[in-house]
Amino acid sequence: MDQKIISLAAEKTADKLQKFLQNLKEDDLANLLQNQAVKGKAAGALLRGIFKGSPCSEEAGALRRRNVYTLCIQLVESGDLQKEVASEIIGLLMLEAHNFPGPLLVELANEFIDAVREGSLVNGKSLELLPIILTALAAKKENLTDGKGELSGEEYKKQLINTLCSGRWDQQYVIQLTSMFKDVPLTAEEVEFVVEKVLKMFPKLNLQEIPPLVYQLLILSSKGSRKRVLEGIMAFFNELDKQHNEEQSGDELLDLVTVPSGELRHVEGTIILHIVFAIKLDRDLGRELLKHVKTGQQGDSSKNLCPFTIALLLSVTRIQRFEEQVFDLLKTSVVKSFKDLQLLQGSKFLQNLVSHKSCVSTMILEVVKNRVPVHQACKLGASILLETFKIHEMIRQEILEQVLNRVVTKASSPISHFLDLLSSIIMYAPLVLQSCSSKITETFDYLSFLPFQTVQGLLKAVQPLLKVSMSMRDSLILVLRKAMFASQLDARKSAVAGFLLLLKNFKVLGSLSSSQCSQSIGVSQVHVDVHSRYNSVANETFCLEIIDSLRRCLGQQADVRIMLYEGFYDVLRRNSQLVNSIMQTLLSQLKQFYEPKPDLLPPLKLEACIVTQGDQTFLQEPLAHLLCCIQHCLAWYKSRVMPLQQEEEEEEEEGFYQELDDMLESITNRVIKSELEDFELDKSSDFSQTTDIGIRNNFCALLVMGVCEILIEYNFSISNFSKNKFEEVLSLFMCYKNLSDVLKEKASKGKAKMANKTNDSLLSMKFVSDLLTALFRDSTQSHEESLSVLRSSNEFMRYAVSVALQKVQQLKEAGHVSGADGQNPDKVFQNLCDITRVLLWRYTSIPTSVEESGKKEKGKSISLLCLEGLQKIFDAVQQFYQPKIWQFLRALDVTDNEGEEAEVSVTQRATFQIRQFQRSLLNLLSSQEEDFNSKEALLLVSVLSSLSKLLEPSSPQFLQMLSWTSKICKENSLEDASFCKGLMNLLFSLHVLYKSPVSLLRDLSQDIHGQLGDIDQDIEVEKTNHFAMVNLRTAAPTVCLLVLSQAEKVLEEVDWLITKLKGQVSQEIISEEASSQAVPPNHPIEKAIIIQLGTLLTFFHELVQTALPSGSCVDTLLKDLCKMYTILTALVKYYLQVCRSSRGIPKNMEKLVKLSGSHLTPLCYSFISYVQNKKSNSLKSAGEKKKEKTAAVATAMAKVLRETKPIPNLIFAIEQYEKFLIHLSKRSKVNLMQHMKLSTSRDFKIRGNILDMVLQEEEENEEGTASEHGGQNEEPAKKKRKKETKCLS
């Protein structure tokens, strides 16, 4: 039978075939077709024959075709057919589908849709036919009936797609169904149906099925809905990442049911590759991605920028077209995230409203806090690169190259962050970096041309590598030897720094293990360093060669020598076996400037230290630094080496240590005996900076003062509390002081301000700490008599405290101090604790008032200096030792017991210290007004501000501090502007961490209004007196400017909240669900914004009625009013957005608008008139004085112009506010303008009679100055008049 059909089909006409098929029963035909298909014999030929004999023009033929289609689809889905046969059948069905009449196409399509919804498909092969059927249906011109009415083919196709997308899809056919749609012509609406359906299927699929589905979805996105596709993919993976992180941090048992981390990352990586590939082919997709992320920035960026999104964006940077845009976007996001965090941390008001979600940086890495956003972003970048270096081997070379390139090329700009990163990379894997040694060696070639600071940082960073790579070390030595004789001073300093670093880190066998090393080198290097004894033996020869090279530096400039002297002590501590070589070098250097005859005064050849070349005089030998180095090396040797020396040690070695001791002793005795005249320095000497002799004398004086300081430290350290030694110390100090007084006197008389600059003390911080402890805290009976010598001199004690202050100032400015151990942060911290303990005891035990009552000397009292020192120390500790705050406060607490360590918190310890300073301030405030010490009060407030930062804002101690500060402000009416400013700043800084300061601002504005009076002189203002600190002297400008700056901060917070709300509204999906869910979260924020603005409105209501003096107060108030109206406008715009949905505007918003119309806008116009009247009065008074002082008039004019400049901006802001209120009234159907009065008319009409009078006055005034300004003023006046008369006509 099958052969019969095939042979009939071969004939030219199909008549016989048609008759044969008509006579054939339906079941027979079905069986025939099924048998042939299963056998795989001539199924295609048979099918072609059937189609030829079943023309669609006849109803019977069309129905036969329809049945054959159904049968073939069932056969293909059954899985009984061979793959080739099934493909052939589907191909034939596809070719013939367009011949079907519309109703039969609908039936076929519905059959498919039912199969999909019921899940009756077996392998989904037949789905390839569905797009052809839908395409054929869309092409039908005739209308089709669907039982409810008639639809066109296109409309029917849309209905079928809608039905398909709203039904259930079996998990295994999702990819095939999505792929199918790419072959169907779809409208934008239909693409949206399909995309939404596919995105909803994501959570139901296995993770491994997602990448091919995303691939099909991206192809589909070329038809439209690009934004929705990207949004959906990113939202799905961001949620998946979030769940994964929560599960990992939760119960370990969850690991049994979750996706393994590796699998998730692999799938995400594949999807990112698909998206990047799609963006390369379709730029619009890339644009949509950037647009979506940018839009997300306006609202809550943490919802949009998640690890998956960031990884995707970074991958997109490989496409050149988008590289710059993506990096700019990421940089902006990171900085914005840090700024938002900073704003939140500084305001309790915002913290209560906005829950802090993880910021962008935490999604990439954990970043240090308490830095400005740009620094945080920079730190984040370094952390990303370091983590990348650790994880990805293939990119290590490139990261290292890029870092080194920037160190060399950006040497002029700050590059400490690159050096820190380089150091971290090297510390992580020094052995790995041996493979990149050529790049580092190449960098060494640039050392001579780089700034000294950069070279120091670079050498410190690469130091671990020098331990494991001999070739690198040799390359560096060659470069350093060349640099030592370079013409640039920085290059020579770099050479010294390099050699000293090598000496510190290549230990000689037998050296003491120093606990004082400031940098650990890391486990991997330590193994390399100690695995062979040869290293230490060979190091000795190597180090002695370097010392030999360094000796040549002793003939170079003073700066190079100072570096060497400061470095030798550090070298000695790290490499004790070099002690003989170094001490011998120092001894021979000192002998060049030492007078050996015991009775010769002065004992040092100062003239040899100063050199004149041509017309320039400069210091050649920094003798004081040389003695300083000798003194510290000697002290270290005596304390660390001598106790360990064996008896068989050579005697001659001990000899030159004794020789150095004898020399220092001799210098001490002879300096004490010397008069100023012996140094050729006395009050009659020339110290001006303009003559050679003056410069030479200045250098000599500074050298002698430095030598005195070193001898003071030396003699104190060897004194063992001997009275004679302390008398010598005091004599040395008197020599130092006499010279210091001469220099100060000369500096104050002459114009040489350079000489007035305080020179850094050469005393070490450890000595300053020991000296202060001895002077103020040593109560040992046996020391009493000797210490009384030093304690008898107030000047010496003041000097000791002053040096301590200088050291702390150095720490604040540079992060380290000068002198021995000044670069060691742990030692500096320990000394800082000791100094603070002494200063604190001294200040609290002997108050300034007690000390000053019997004071006759000039200058600050010791107590005041102690307080100044404490203020600087508290700031410095928070700046540089934040992690050690607890240890610092514990060190100050003398009564502390070891067992209570864990129980006492930072807040409790800080509170204890705060109470001491509160008592001091209260005592000061209770004193007579004439005894009030403004400087001390200001320092106390500064100390309290510093300490209050250590209090936990949620603690009762913080609340007590706030109440106490508020009470002081309310009860004290001192007329001291600077004290008032300090105290008010403290009050506000505390208040913002407790709650919003708007009510405080309102009270203060009432006080200011009461003190300064009203702009209408006829109105008498009732004085409220909330804060006694606000009085006639302090109200303006001090308090006025303070409250205005605080109001600005509040406005900034409100603006931030409004921007956040706007972003959320714009991100909401316009649907019934979204709009109903959007109401509750925003409601409390909206309410808070309106309350803030309402209270601020009453604050401005008071200030615009206040008779403020001309100047900064008026200027700032006008600018802040302008901001107020700008933010009111922003709120109105937000409600315009909100009104697009079903929501209206809340009642409290209506009240706010009413309040602005009645209490602010009219008063703003009155205030503007007040300012303009003051302007005209000041111009009039300036005009009267015009003949006397023209310059004064110009100044007055400039001042007036400056003050009135913000007025047009304010008027514009008010008008913009009213304009958008009109829009909002229309949209919300609420008449908001009923509360707004008409604005002042400003159409500039020219009144002729007044104009003539003014011009006449001007002409009369100009006659007086005609001789000075001749033709310059006259001509413009004529032109102006012409123009004006023309306007009048």
1083-1101 tens-digit pLDDT: 888 999 999 999 999 999 9
More confident residue, 144 or 178: 178
Maximum distance among all Cα pairs of the chain, rounded to whole angstroms? 147
Strand partners, 616: 613
Residue written as token pair 């550090």 = 570
- Using CA atoms, how far apart are residues 843 and 260, in angstroms rounded to an integer? 63
Range of weakest confidence among 534-548, 1099-1113, 1219-1233: 534-548
pTM of the shown model: 0.76
- Residue 769, classified by CB atoms within 10 Å of its CB into exposed (0-12), middle (13-18) or buried (19+), is buried
Count of alpha carbons within 13 angstroms of residue 165, beta-carbon side: 21
pLDDT digits (tens, 9 = 90+) for 1216-1238: 999 999 999 888 888 888 877 76
Over 60: is that where the pLDDT of 524 sits?
no
Q: Beta strand 610-613 with 616-619: parallel, antiparallel or unpaired?
A: antiparallel
Mean confidence (pLDDT) of the chain:
79
Q: Hey, what are 952's tokens?
A: 């936990």
Please tell me which residue, 1144 or 564, carries the higher pLDDT value: 564
Q: What is the pLDDT of residue 50?
A: 65
Q: What pLDDT is recorded for position 427? A: 84
According to the model, what pLDDT value does residue 949 have? 94
pLDDT score recorded for residue 357 = 58
Q: Count how many residues are written for the chain.
A: 1289
**Cα end-to-end span (Å), the chain:** 111
Averaged pLDDT for residues 1181-1192: 58
pLDDT of residue 1048: 95
DSSP 618: E
Euclidean distance between CA atoms 96 and 1159, whole angstroms: 80
pLDDT tens-digit map of 387-409: 777 777 777 888 888 888 888 88
pLDDT tens readout for residues 969-1019: 999 988 899 999 999 999 999 999 999 999 999 999 999 999 999 998 888
Pick the more confident residue, 567 or 373. Answer: 567
Q: Which residue has the tokens 């998730």?
A: 264
CA distance 310 to 363: 9
* Residue-level pLDDT at 80: 65
Mean pLDDT is lowest, of 94-103, 196-205, 1009-1018, for: 94-103
Q: Given this model, what pLDDT does residue 574 score?
A: 85
- Residue 1005: the pLDDT is 95
**Residue carrying structure tokens 């829009």:** 1223
CA distance 262 to 212: 19
Peptide bond into 373 cis (omega under 30): no
What is the pLDDT, as a whole number, of residue 1006? Answer: 94
The whole-angstrom separation of Cα 474 and Cα 458 is 16
Mean pLDDT, residues 873-884: 93
Contacts of residue 593, defined as CB under 8 A and 6 or more positions apart, other chains included, come to: 604, 605, 606, 608, 609, 621, 623, 626
Is the pLDDT higher at 1288 or at 914? 914
For residue 678 the two structure tokens come to: 């012996």
Q: What is the pLDDT of residues 121-149, one digit of tens each?
A: 666 666 666 777 777 776 666 666 665 55
Calculate mean pLDDT across residues 377-393: 77
Residue 447 has pLDDT above 70, yes or no: yes
Please say if the pLDDT value at position 32 is more than 50.
yes
Cis peptide bond prior to 203, omega within 30° of 0? no
Name the burial class of residue 347, with classes exposed (0-12), middle (13-18) and buried (19+) by CB atoms within 10 angstroms of its CB. Answer: buried
What pLDDT was estimated at residue 59? 65
Phi, then psi, of 616 in degrees rounded to 5: -115, 135
Residues 6+ apart with CB under 8 A from 51: 65, 68, 92, 96
Residue 1202 CB partners (closer than 8 Å, separation 6+): 1115
pLDDT of residue 958: 95
Whole-number Å distance between alpha carbons of 400 and 397: 5
Give the pLDDT score at 810: 92
Q: Tokens in use for 814? A: 């540079």
Q: Do residues 100 and 56 make contact, with C-beta atoms less than 8 angstroms apart?
A: yes
Q: In angstroms, rounded to a whole number, what is the distance separating the alpha carbons of residues 1049 and 966? A: 20
Confidence of residue 1042 (pLDDT cuts 50, 70, 90): very high
pLDDT at 1275: 40
Contact 767, 702 (CB under 8 A): no
- What is the structure's pLDDT at 456? 85
In which band, very low, low, confident or very high, does the pLDDT at 1280 lie, cut at 50, 70 and 90?
A: very low
User: In this prediction, what percent of the chain has a pLDDT beyond 90?
Assistant: 28
pLDDT of residue 530: 36
* Dist. CA 935–CA 209, nearest whole Å: 74
Identify the pLDDT of residue 838: 95
Do 468 and 521 touch, CB atoms closer than 8 A?
Answer: no
User: pLDDT value at position 291?
Assistant: 84
CA neighbor of 644 nearest in space, from 569, 576, 715, 580: 576
Average pLDDT rounded to a whole number, residues 851-874:
81
Q: What is the mean pLDDT of residues 159-180?
A: 75
| 769-785 pLDDT per residue, tens | 999 999 999 989 999 99
- Of 335 and 102, the structure prediction assigns the larger pLDDT to 335
Reported as a single tens digit per residue, the pLDDT across 604-626 is: 998 888 888 877 888 889 999 99
Structure token pair of residue 1279? 């032109």
Partnered with residue 144 across adjacent β-strands are: 151
Residue 1071 has pLDDT above 60, yes or no: no
Across residues 645-668, what is the average pLDDT? 71
Q: Which residues, at least 6 apart from 1257, have a Cβ–Cβ distance to it below 8 Å?
A: none
The burial class, CB within 10 Å (0-12 / 13-18 / 19+), for 935 is middle
Query: What's the CA gap between 112 and 1123, in Å, rounded?
Result: 64
Indicate the DSSP class of residue 1108: P
- What is the average per-residue pLDDT within 1200-1210? 78
Which residue would you say has higher pLDDT here, 912 or 642?
912
Q: List, as one string, the DSSP characters of 161-228.
A: HHHHHHS---GGGHHHHHHHHTTS---HHHHHHHHHHHHHHGGGS-GGGHHHHHHHHHHHGGGS-HHH
Taking only the tens place, the pLDDT of each residue in 477-501 is 899 988 888 888 888 888 998 898 8
* Lowest mean per-residue pLDDT among 5-14, 414-423, 561-570: 5-14
**Is the separation of the CB atoms in 354 and 344 below 8 Å?**
yes
| CB proximity list for 1230: less than 8 A, separation 6 or greater | 1144, 1145, 1150, 1224
Q: Which two tokens stand for residue 478?
A: 């060659």
**What pLDDT does residue 612 have?**
85
| pLDDT of the residue at 600 | 86
Taking CA 1270 as the corner, what is the angle to CA 1269 and CA 1272, rounded to the nearest 5 degrees? 75
User: Residue 928, by phi and psi: left (phi above 0), alpha (psi -120 to 50) or beta?
Assistant: beta
